[in-house]
Amino acid sequence: MPLKLPKLFLYLLGSILILNLFQANFTELIYDEAYYWHYAKNLAWGYFDHPSMVALMIKIGGFLFEGELGVRFVSCLFSVGTFVLLWLAIDNTEKKKYVPHFFVLVFSMTLLNAYGFFTLPDTPLLFFTALFLLIYKRFIRTPTLVLAIFLGIIMAALMYSKYHAVLVIFFVLLSNLKLVSDKYAWIAVITALLCYTPHFVWLYEHDFISIKYHLFERPNAPYDFNKYTLGFLVNLVAIFGLTFPFMYYALIKSRSKDLFTKALLYLTYGVLIFFFISSFNRRVQTQWIIVVSIPMAILVYSYLLEHASVRKWLFRLGLINIAIILFLRIGLIYEPLFPVYYETHGNKAWMKEIQSKAGTNPVVFENSYRNAPMYAFYTGETSYSLNNINYRQNQYSIDNSEEAVQHKKVLYVSKYLNKKEFTFPKASGSIYYAHFIDDFESFRKLRCIVEDEKFKLDDQTHTVKVFNPYATNIPLEKLQFAIAYLNESKQFEELVPIQLDTDRKKLMYLSSNDTTLFTFRLRKPIKTVSPKYFKIVISENGLRYGLNSETIKLD
């Protein structure tokens, strides 16, 4: 049965789609989009930071269009699709009288607007959350086998979009615990797990590196009320702009009339409370709470249909929001109109400037999973991010990018170089330096595995397994080992070089695809008074020490 949407709805929806396609085509990529474009060069069931949906979207768009539009095309479709799903989820027959109010409401939401053309994991998360809620609404009315399977596929799509999707599924389930004894609900769960199995397998094959990073490895600064909790409260305002007082007023006034409304309320309050509690431990990024825009759009629009004063003020303030957003969107393309430097400005020209020196030689960016893919996107040349102890692991740590620069003449680009053949100032004000390396060689995939459970400074001897995953033996003379000490927030503090010992006499190299056993002692750091964690790290050929072990706690 075809969708019966009002003509005005279709006109406005079509206008937004055209606007977003235009914006997508003429706005330079932001860094995260370039990074996800790097994902899409090699489709997989998972990636270091996120599941695979964002890469699939870019891959599909790339078959249809080149450049920025190819990266963002599917996002533009998902955006208008989200608007349609939200509209269908609202039952009030009065809604056809207030089509403009609906579009002002959803289009005035700042991040919901931005994700109309940017390609980020939150874009499919928003779309599949809206689809999940719509199908769930029909499922609780009349559960069937077909709806159960479809619901399961959507839950899997949610999880392939972003790990935060688990909150969406959990809080909806929490709103209706009777689903635990519903056979169709179990069919949906089993379907979701079957569809998500390839990602589970990918995680297992990669030693659950994504989960470990997000839960245990990510550095975190000490608690700061202004940056963390107050920052979270500011984010609550930022996602709605000027309409925020009436958005939250409508939310507070909304009542649980049925299971669907109850699910919307549980999802909204659940996510907000979860991240409010999280704000006492870490900084909550604005996009982490963006998913509440979906249930709140349904709740608030339903509320304004029945309350003329709220409807009037939301419409007026929403129009002002939209005017500001459209002005800023023009500034994304035409830099002089934007009030501050933004990452869509100047990247293409900067990368071309670097290419003018590098020529066809690969470019190795030190500690920048942001610059490396941006360079590859805008120049078509080979690039790589060499990550060291001052940075973090990312997709370049686990994919095959390193192979493309091995034993090549490369232009090495970094903020921190003693040898400076070239200087590359960025529009942001940062200054990068560069020099050529005639025969580049790195071994960032060497892994140091420590199985002991308790560690103290200058304690007994410990054993470390050094695994060489490379196809060639690695001479030990090319390697230096050290202990990297970290503070209680898992931030790097100090390096202490160490000598690894082995029972094998005259050991000259690490054997290919083999593990070598060494012993070591934890030498006391010189500057750091009381380190809380450490890593065993390796420097090859004089490069800065890498990220070669997990973060290990000190007693």
What share of the chain has pLDDT > 90, as a percent?
88
Report d(CA 67, CA 380) in Å as an integer: 11
- Is residue 441's pLDDT more than 90? yes
Is there a contact between 547 and 537 (Cβ–Cβ < 8 Å)? yes
Report d(CA 332, CA 346) in Å as an integer: 11
DSSP secondary structure string for all residues of 126-140: HHHHHHHHHHHHHHH
Is there a contact between 232 and 279 (Cβ–Cβ < 8 Å)? yes
Q: What is the DSSP secondary structure assignment for residue 470, as one 8-state letter?
A: S
Mean pLDDT of 341-357: 95
Confidence of residue 222 (pLDDT cuts 50, 70, 90): confident
Is there a contact between 349 and 6 (Cβ–Cβ < 8 Å)? no
Task: Count Cα atoms within 13 angstroms, Cβ side, for 320.
Answer: 10
DSSP secondary structure string for all residues of 282-344: SPPPGGGGGGGHHHHHHHHHHHHHH-HHHHHHHHHHHHHHHHHHHHHHHHHHSGGGSSS--TT
Give exposure, 220-247, as e/b (b: 16+ Cβ within 10 Å).
eeeeeeeebbebbeebbeebbbbbeebb
For the chain, give every domain's residue range. Answer: 7-336, 350-437, 447-553
* pTM of the predicted protein model: 0.95
Q: What is the DSSP secondary structure assignment for residue 501, as one 8-state letter?
A: B
Report d(CA 324, CA 320) in Å as an integer: 6
R_g of the chain, CA atoms, integer Å: 26
Q: What is the pLDDT of residues 274-327, one digit of tens each?
A: 999 999 988 999 999 999 999 999 999 999 999 999 999 999 999 999 999 999
Report d(CA 176, CA 253) in Å as an integer: 21
Mean pLDDT of 403-416: 96
Q: State which amino acid sits at residue 140.
A: I
Please give the pLDDT value at position 220. Answer: 78
Residue 9 CA, distance from chain mean position: 32
Q: State which amino acid sits at residue 238.
A: A
- Is residue 218's pLDDT more than 90? no
Mean pLDDT of 443-456: 91
Mean confidence (pLDDT) of the chain: 95
Q: What is the pLDDT of residues 109-161, one digit of tens each?
A: 999 999 999 999 999 999 999 999 999 999 999 999 999 999 999 999 999 99
Q: How many CB atoms lie within 10 A of CB 503?
A: 8
Give the three-class secondary structure for 84.
helix
Please give the pLDDT value at position 1. Answer: 39
Q: What CA–CA distances, in Å, run from 199 to 53, 161, 453?
A: 11, 12, 30
Please give the pLDDT value at position 504. Answer: 67
Please give the pLDDT value at position 456. Answer: 87
Mean pLDDT of 183-198: 98
Beta-strand relationship, 363-366 and 383-386: parallel
Confidence of residue 501 (pLDDT cuts 50, 70, 90): confident
Name residue, tokens 């390796």: 538
Burial class (CB in 10 A: 0-12, 13-18, 19+), 7: exposed
Identify which has the larger pLDDT, 1 or 342.
342
Report d(CA 512, CA 462) in Å as an integer: 23
What is the strand order of the sheet 447-449 is part of?
Answer: 447-449, 462-468, 514-520
Architecture in CATH of 447-553? Sandwich (2.60)
Report d(CA 295, CA 276) in Å as an integer: 18
Give exposure, 22-40, as e/b (b: 16+ Cβ within 10 Å).
ebbbebbbbbbbbbbbbbb
Q: What is the pLDDT of residues 17-36, one digit of tens each?
A: 999 999 999 999 999 999 99
Of 530, 443, 436, 429, nearest to 481 (Cα)?
443
The DSSP bridge partners found for residue 386 are 366
DSSP secondary structure string for all residues of 379-411: H---EEEE--TTS---HHHHSSGGGGGTTS-EE
